[in-house]
Each structure stands twice: as C-alpha cells, then as structure tokens.
Structure 1
C-alpha cells in the first residue's frame, strides 16, 4: 500500500484527513502560502490523533534562505513540536549559493533529536537536487518531498524517477503537488515513489468581509482524501471511525 500524507492547517482539516484515511498528517499554518509553522495549540490538538503528525517548520513565506534570527525561531519551533509529542518535523534551508544550507540543517536536525525528518520542496529549487538528496541522507533525513522540480508531480515524473534511482532505498521519496486519484497509481508506477502527498482540498465557503480571508481559500475534504486513498488501494476507514 502507498501511504498518503495530507497537509492540513486547521483542526477541521485534521479531523477530515484522519476520517478520510490519511496515513500521516503534515501540520501547517497558512497552506495558502505554501505552509508555515503551525501554532503550539494546533500541534497539541494534532498530537491527539492516532496517526503520525509531522509539523512544518517554516517561519515565513518565500524561498528558504534564513537569517540568524529565523534560525533561532525554527529551533524553538522544533522544540515546541517535540514538547507537543509530534512524530516528526518538515524542514529545509538554502545557503547563499542556492544549495542546501547543511550547517543550519545539521543544527535543526540536532534539535529534532529522535523526531523523523522530512526535507520539504526546497529540493525542487536547489541547483543540484541529486546532491541535495545525498546531503539529506548524510544529515539523517527519513524522507524528502518533491514535485520533481515541476508545477505538478506528474509533470516532474522524470526527475522524481531519477531521485528514486539515486536514493536506492536510502531515503523515502514522496511525490507531491497536484496529485489526484485519476493518475496516482500511474505516478507511482512510472516513478517508483513509495509515498504520496496531497492536500485533497476543495473550495472553502465564501471569503470573509474586510479582507479577513484570502480569495480562493481551500479546505481539506474528507471525501477527496477518501477517494485518493481508495485509488491507491488502501483500506479506508468508516465515516465515523474518528469519533
């Protein structure tokens, strides 16, 4: 079976992803901005779930070159994830040349201690993704998330296959971005990835007045999670299994 990780940024999203049969949660704030560090309160709520939860550690939107103050924030947020009882963290950072910031990532990995480490889609914007994969393995990462450097994982399937080949079982390659039930099995077959990542989201209710919610806001859909899990051939939970 191919595990499905679902990114969520609300308590309602946690419930929908779990009820739909997600194998793991990527816990974020502000998915509309690509996912930022969740609050301590949301981490505590997520830790109640009986499935693994990995917290995104990203202090702001934009690319991944972080200054000293941001590095301190990230270290503190990792300690908060550990204190909440989460299973892992999702991190990434670039140096001045655009490659992985290995010293910073080593420091953050040390802060994480026993937590599982996922390298996020920073690997899609570094100049040499295969070298970044090797560096992630040396740092002790368990998995990496990639779209193959393309807008969608399907479009990036050739690079995803190259990452899987280079990984040679030393690290999990998880495909994400635009993954849906219509092509999930083909994506797995053509790339060899062993995990998938998908938001399984649908349009949220109309935006709030006074600019209090961004246009195009989306929310996790239990039905979409369930459909993708079914497409992957996993056993789905009953609708009331989370109660």
Structure 2
C-alpha cells in the first residue's frame, strides 16, 4: 500500500499518475502537514483512489485546548460529509503520551459520522505517536482506542533510522493494527523499510518546482523553493513495492 501526502490540487493528479494507492490530504507539508482547505477536500473526494484528511489545526506540539479539539471534530465531520475514506488524527497529553481521553472522543465522533452516511471512516493515528516516551505502550493504547493504523517513523525523525523499532512495532502489532511507515521514505531506503515487515508506506515524493520568485520572497509570500509532488518519484516507489509483492508471492 503506497500512501502519498499532498498539499495541492496538482499533487492529487501527480500521485495518481505515479501509481499511489491512497492520498493523505494536507496543507503546509513544510511543517509536517496541517488541515487542508475544504476546496481541496472536495476535489480529492472525486479522485479514483481513497483519500484521508489530516486533521491538525496548527503547527507545533499536539497538545490541544478545547477550542482546537473542536476544530478537529469539525474536520472529522467535513471528511465524512465529503465522502472521504478516512481521517488522520493525533493528540498528546502534558507528559507526551497519547491523550487517550481526547482521542477516544474523536474516534467515537468519527464512528458516529461514518455511521450517519453508512460509510465508516478509516482512522490513522499520526506521528504524535513518535513523540511518545514509550512507543510500545502507545501502540497498545492505539489498539485499545480502535485505530486502524499508525503513521510512524519509529520514534526517529526519519523512518530509515529506526528500522529495528519499526520491525518491533510490526511484531507487537501482530495484525491488530497496521503500521504505516513514513518520513523520508524514498527509492533508496524503501527496500530496507519493507524488510521490517511494514504493510504500508507513506511518502511525499516531492521535487523542486522552480526557483522562488524574488518579489514573492521580498513580500513574505514565499519562504523558499517550491516543492511539488513528482510522479516519477511516486512511480519509482510503486515499482519497488510491486517487485516486493511479487517476490513475497513467489516465496509463498
């Protein structure tokens, strides 16, 4: 399963052209992704592959007050109303562990919104997980809460630097929850990441899309070079994944 995170309309088309299985809809990928605009959500809902909405109301930590928690609940409702396949959520408590109470309320809300439309929302726990002091404890919490998968880099900034941890998470999950490996995934490190046993991978597959405009930088409208989803990079991951699947099927 290849999930590509995108933050533009062109990114949707590029991910599909490259062979993505699923989209994660975001804004501001430069800060790890924020909640996308409704206009992008509605366009993605018409895409031929499933799309999951990232519900993250701001950058920084994942400790949310009541107002921010309400924004995430609204984003979950938007995903359900638009007909998306799922949502990506996460929250931390003051100690850095998962905020189980808040997450439980969002999970219940997502289940209820999906039931209204007779289309369950798939639930991904995002990389707030990676900041937890005990990843195995957090894994058990995510399972108890009813998440379908965890997006994780194994507690390190890049997934390729946490291969042993990813393998341990897969073993501990034992099919009870999916492990979606993400952060810094590319064609060079994907074989090693797949060797951990993860069933799904997540990548942005972006390339520079031209030099920043002088006037745009001067006025503060652009911080640096633009990056865009590169269908060739998506295709490279697709080929590796297909080869990995063929090899596994042959071995069986």
TM-score (norm 2): 0.89
Residue 234 of structure 1: CA displacement? 6.2
Higher helix share: 2
Residue 216 of structure 1: CA displacement? 3.8
Mapped partners of 1:6, 1:110: distance in 2: 26
Partner of 2:204: 199
Mapped partners of 2:170, 2:225: distance in 1: 34
Mapped partners of 2:52, 2:243: distance in 1: 21
Q: Which has the higher contact order (CA 8 A, sep 6+)?
A: 1
Residue 158 of structure 1: CA displacement? 1.0
SS of alignment partner, residue 70 of structure 1 = helix
**Structure 1 gap ranges (5+):** 236-243
Q: Deviations over 1:77-112 (max 9, x none)?
A: 110111111000000000112110011101111121
Partner of 2:177: 171
Aligned length: 232
- Indicate which of 233, 237, 240 corresponds to 1:228: 237
- Does structure 2 retain, via aligned residues, the 8 Å contact 1:32–1:217? no
Mapped partners of 1:103, 1:23: distance in 2: 32
Q: Deviations over 1:165-212 (max 9, x none)?
A: 1101100101111111122122211x1111111111001222232221
**Structure 2 gap ranges (5+):** 112-119, 245-252
Mapped partners of 2:108, 2:136: distance in 1: 23
Q: Deviations over 1:3-42 (max 9, x none)?
A: 1100000100000001110000000011011100011111
- Indicate which of 63, 69, 72 corresponds to 1:71: 69
Match runs of 1:63-102 below 5 Å = 63-102=61-100
Mapped partners of 2:157, 2:58: distance in 1: 21
Mapped partners of 1:55, 1:148: distance in 2: 22
Q: Deviations over 1:212-236 (max 9, x none)?
A: 122143110011101111122269x
TM-score (norm 1): 0.92
Mapped partners of 2:38, 2:189: distance in 1: 36
Runs of 4+ in structure 1 displaced over 6 angstroms? none
Partner of 1:184: 190
Mapped partners of 1:203, 1:213: distance in 2: 14
SS of alignment partner, residue 233 of structure 1 = helix
